[in-house]
A and B are shown apart, each in its own frame.
Chain A
Amino acid sequence: MIIAVKNLWKEYGDNVVLENINLTVKEHEFVTIVGASGCGKTTFLRMLLGEETPTRGSFMLDGKPLPDEPGPDRGIVFQRYSVFPHLTVLENVMLGLEFAASPFLGKLFGTARKQAQSKAEAILNEVGLYEVRNHYASQLSGGMQQRLSIAQSVIREPRILLLDEPFGALDPGITDDMHKLILRLWDEHKMTIFMITHDIKEGFELGTRLLVFDKVRRDAQAQSAYGATITYDLPLKSVDRNVAKEVAEQTRRTEAFIQSAQLVASH
């Protein structure tokens, strides 16, 4: 059991974001997370990162409480901005190795550098960025930047890889290739993946397990009084299309509810 969450609540003052989350995740699962915006998906991911701590309940990694800051065992790919614009593609990928091996300068020289470089080049080959390895990251297209960000994380061989709507800003044509890439890397490196997505279809197609975050209780007078919880936890080999439709419909309804509640609150 790599992740074990028990009776977890997250509140900001009176605002309940997540309530009563229970979840265990085994090694090498590919967990996709869907849900309306404002249903605590990102808060959950930030807790996995170590950016947020639970208000109540426990969040265990390998049986120990999750560290309260980000670390190399949990890689992340955000929707945008997670590559370093001032470094070349190759330098971006080598950075993780340099941090690990050179505490004072954060930079490798000589043979150590050569070794890190060939390791980085191998991964760049894998994600199809070898040709542009000497370009600055800021010169790459959105899709290429996401590939780079994935390569950057994978080289540190994190046990858990977190993906926060990684393909949300990309053209639909590119997304297919990205899906193939992430599935291949997931299989090769035996990572456990948590991926947040807005695209319910993508969630059903990619994962081995799908979580739906949704609000069960709604109070139009006090929108923040109840938090979201996991309403569906589906193993994804045996799911039929009707369930996908049902989930899409409920997510849409919650989204509409949150929007109208916000509208009421702002008047």
Chain B
Amino acid sequence: MRRLINQLPGKGGAFGLGVLPFLLLFLVYVLASDARLAENANDKLLPALNTIADSIHTYAFEEDKRSGNILLWTDTWASLKRLGMGLGLGATLGLLFGVAVGVVPYVRAALQPFIAALSMIPPLAMLPILFVVFGLDELSKVVLIVFGVAPVIMRDLALRVGEIPREQIIKAQTLGASTWQLVLRVVLPQMWPRLIDSVRLSLGSAWLFLIAAEAIAATEGLGYRIFLVRRYMAMDIILPYVAWITLIAFAMDYLLRLLSQRLYPWMQRSE
């Protein structure tokens, strides 16, 4: 018998093992739901699968009677727009300041302590201020996401710039590079894949800030919806919405990873 650390699952085995926890969770849910519903047919906590399927149908395929919109899609679109703008802006700021801090010692001396302090402010504590300053509209939600992700991306990228070997920076100078050329041809191109990684790691907190902002003040959005229907204990809607949010987040992460692999094949080989 080989040691446990030397026993490897085959390809099919790994897949099966990966699926197993999901199946188990599903099974536990179905059993628990059946048990509760057998005791009380009006129980709302763990709705039956067909109740959930009905709700999904109502929300994803039928027009809402009051607004004429298909709610799931309006909510998804509203949330993705906010998330996309927040992440896009956060990544842009993160890249600009991160590279500037990483490359230019004067900028580093001026901004590094400030950014470090900024990143320690809990973004959710800023939310009331954002609502007061930017109003209850889209802007404050986007700003919250930016506020939450930008300092982290900045610090991460500044570190990554610092990880470029000193030899490369010296070499570029002996090839005649100015600071600007060095940034453009040596530093930035090596930061793109790192930026994508950094955004991937920020996805989780970006969703957190989005849902928090939507829960407090919004008229549409995935976070708004689940907090709205919570009033009626509508678990048949909350559960699929949570699953849907998870699926979207997972897909975004996967697509970003794919993008990074496609665009920056040199990354795989150098590390």
Given contacts A85-B270, A106-B184, A136-B265, contact A72 B167 (CB under 8 A): no
Chain B hits for A226, CB < 8 A = none
Residues of A within 8 A of B264 (CB): 86
> CB-CB < 8 A to A75: which residues of B?
174-175
Q: A70-B170, A80-B167, A82-B167 are in contact. Are A138 and B177 (CB under 8 A)?
A: no
Give the Cβ gap from B189 to chain A, nearest Cβ, in Å: 5
For chain B, the count of residues having a C-beta within 8 Å of the partner chain is 25
Across-interface contacts of B170 in A (CB, < 8 A): 49, 51, 70, 76, 78, 82
Residue of B nearest to A152 (CB): B175
Query: What is the size category of the interface that chain A forms with chain B?
Result: 35 or more
A136 and B173: CB pair below 8 A? Answer: no
A86 and B174 contacting across the interface, CB-CB below 8 Å? no
Q: Which of A77-101 contact B (CB under 8 A)?
A: 78, 80-87, 95-96, 98-100
Q: Which B-chain residue is minimally distant from A98 (CB atoms)?
A: B185
Number of A-B contacts (CB under 8 A): 93
B 82-122 binary contact with A (CB < 8 Å = 1; else 0): 00000000000000000000000000000000000000000
**In the docked arrangement, what's the CA distance between A152 and B173, Å?**
12
Residues on the B chain within 8 Å of A239, using CB: none
Q: Across the interface, do B270 and A72 meet the contact criterion of CB distance under 8 Å?
A: no
Chain A residue numbers with a CB within 8 Å of B177 are 99, 106
Q: How distant is the Cα of A152 from the Cα of B270 in the complex, in angstroms?
A: 19
For B167, give its contact among A78, A104, A105 (CB under 8 Å): A78
Known contacts A98-B185, A136-B265, A139-B269; A84 and B168 CB within 8 A of each other:
yes
- Chain A nearest CB from B91 CB (Å) reads 19
Among the listed B174, B184, B269, which residue makes an inter-chain contact with A71, where contact means beta carbons less than 8 Å apart?
A: B174
For the complex, is A103 an interface residue (Cβ under 8 Å from B)?
Answer: yes
The answer to whether residues A96 and B269 also contact, given A70-B170, A106-B185, A107-B185 and a CB cut-off of 8 A, is: no
Whether B174 and A136, one on each chain, are in contact in the complex, defined by CB atoms closer than 8 angstroms, is no
Is B21 interfacial (CB 8 A cutoff)? no
Q: Are A138 and B176 in contact (CB under 8 A)?
A: no
Contact across chains for A86 and B175 when beta carbons are under 8 A apart: no
User: Which of the residues A76, A87, A156 comes within 8 Å of B176, measured between beta carbons?
Assistant: A156
Is A147 part of the binding interface, using a Cβ–Cβ cutoff of 8 Å? no
Q: B185 and A69: CB pair below 8 A?
A: no
A99 touches B270 (CB 8 A): no
CB nearest neighbor in A for B186: A84
A74 within 8 A of B: yes
Query: Closest B-chain residue to A140, C-beta based?
Result: B269
Q: If A78-B167, A107-B185 touch, does A99 touch B175 (CB 8 Å cutoff)? A: yes
Contacts of A197 in B (CB 8 A): none
A153 within 8 A of B: yes
CB-CB < 8 A to A106: which residues of B? 177, 180-181, 184-185
A137, B190: Cα distance in complex, Å: 13
Report which of B168, B180, B270 forms a contact with A138, defined as CB distance below 8 A: B270
Is B165 an interface position by the 8 A CB rule? Answer: yes
Check B178 for interface membership: any CB of A closer than 8 A: yes
Residues in A with CB closer than 8 Å to B180 are: 103-104, 106
- B171 contacts A by Cβ under 8 Å: yes
User: In the complex, what distance in Å separates the CA atom of A133 from the CA atom of B269?
Assistant: 16
Given A85-B270, A86-B266, A106-B185; A96-B176 close (CB under 8 Å): yes
Binding site for B on A (CB under 8 A): 49, 51, 69-72, 74-76, 78, 80-87, 95-96, 98-100, 103-107, 136-139, 149, 152-153, 156, 158
- B-side residues, CB < 8 A to A, are 165, 167-168, 170-178, 180-181, 184-186, 189-190, 264-267, 269-270
